[in-house]
Amino acid sequence: MDKGTPLVEMRDISIAFGGIKAVDHVTVDLYPGEVVGLLGHNGAGKSTLIKCLSGAYRADSGQILINGQPVEIANPRDAREHNIETIYQTLALADNLTAAQNLFLGRELVNARGFLDESAMEAETRKIMGRLNPNFRKFNVPVSALSGGQRQSVAIARAVYFNAKILIMDEPTAALGPHETQMVAELIQELKTQGLGIFLIEHDIHSVMKLCDRASVMKNGQLVGTVKVDEVTDEDILGMIILGKKPAKAA
C-alpha cells in the first residue's frame, strides 16, 4: 500500500482564535492523483485547516510538507509559488472587477512595456470559461452582476487556469445547478487523471462517495479519522461526522 511520498502532508496543525481551538492537532495528507474529502459539521474547522495551506492563516503549531520537504507558507503568495490554488468558500472575488480581472488578480498579464494586457487576459478568460461554463457570456460586467453559480465558475476557473498541482476546493458546488455540478464533478475527475492532488470540502455525502478516494472527518476542531471511501458505507461516514466515532473495520 506504499504510494511513495505524499504531495502534501499537514502534520499536527493547530490554530486558535481567542480561546477557540478551531483546529486542534490535525494531521492530513494528500497524494498525487488523489481526491481527499474533508468533512465535518458546520464550524468543525475544515475551512480554517485548509486556509493554513493556502496561506490565508498561519498555523500556531504544526508542520506543512510538500513532496516531503518542510515548507513555510506565510502568505497566499507563498502558496501560489508551491502551485497551490484555492477556491474559497466565500469565493474571494472583487465584486467591482470583471471575470477576467478577477481571474488574473495578483498575476496580471502585462505587455512589453509593463502595462496590463487587458485583451490578452480577456481572451484567455474566454477560452477557459468556454471549457468550464460554455453558457457564460458576461465578460464585460463586474462580477457583482453575476449569479451565484456564475461567480462560482469564475472562482473555479481562476484556480484551474494556473496549472495547480495542489487544488483546494471549499464547497465548490454550493451555488451550482445540477448540470454545472455535474460539470465540476467531471472536471475533478479530469484533473485527477492529470495527477493533481485535490482537497475537497463537501457536505453532500453522495458526492463525497462518488468523487473522493479518501475522506478525513473533523469534529470540533479535531480529526475523527481518515478512511478509504470504498472500504466504508455512507452510514459509516455520517456516523463519524455526527457521533465522532471511527467505524470499527477501518480502525
Q: How far is the CB of 173 from another protein (least distance, A)?
A: 20
The piece of 24-32, 41-49, 71-79, 100-108 that touches Mg ion (CB under 5 A) is 41-49
Contacting residue, 7, 13, 44, 224, with ligand ATP by CB under 6 A:
44
Task: Give yes or no for residue 74 binding another protein (CB under 8 A).
Answer: no
Find the largest Cα–Cα distance for the chain: 63
Q: How many CB atoms sit inside 10 A of residue 237's CB?
A: 22
User: Looking at this protein, which amino acid is placed at residue 245?
Assistant: K
Task: Give yes or no for residue 80 binding another protein (CB under 8 A).
Answer: yes
Instruction: Give the separation between CA 247 and CA 227, rounded to whole angstroms.
Output: 9
> Which partner from the list another protein, ligand ATP, Mg ion, none does 76 bind, CB cut-off 5 to 8 Å by kind?
another protein
Instruction: Give the separation between CA 190 and CA 222, rounded to whole angstroms.
Output: 31
Task: Give yes or no for residue 46 binding ligand ATP (CB under 6 A).
Answer: yes
Footprint of ligand ATP on 67-96 (CB under 6 A): 89
CB-hemisphere CA count at 13 Å for 155?
Answer: 27
Of the candidates 113, 150, 111, 158, the one whose C-alpha atom is nearest the C-alpha of residue 134 is: 150
> Which partner from the list ligand ATP, Mg ion, another protein, none does 2 bind, CB cut-off 5 to 8 Å by kind?
none
Please state, in angstroms and as integers, the Cα–Cα distance from residue 14 to each residue in 187, 242, 250, following that order.
32, 22, 25
Beta bridge partners of 98: 142
Nearer to Mg ion, 101 or 207 (CB): 207
Task: Give yes or no for residue 139 binding ligand ATP (CB under 6 A).
Answer: no
What is the contact surface with another protein in residues (CB under 8 A)? 54, 56, 75-77, 80, 86, 88, 90-97, 101-102, 105-108, 110, 114-116, 119-120, 122-123, 142
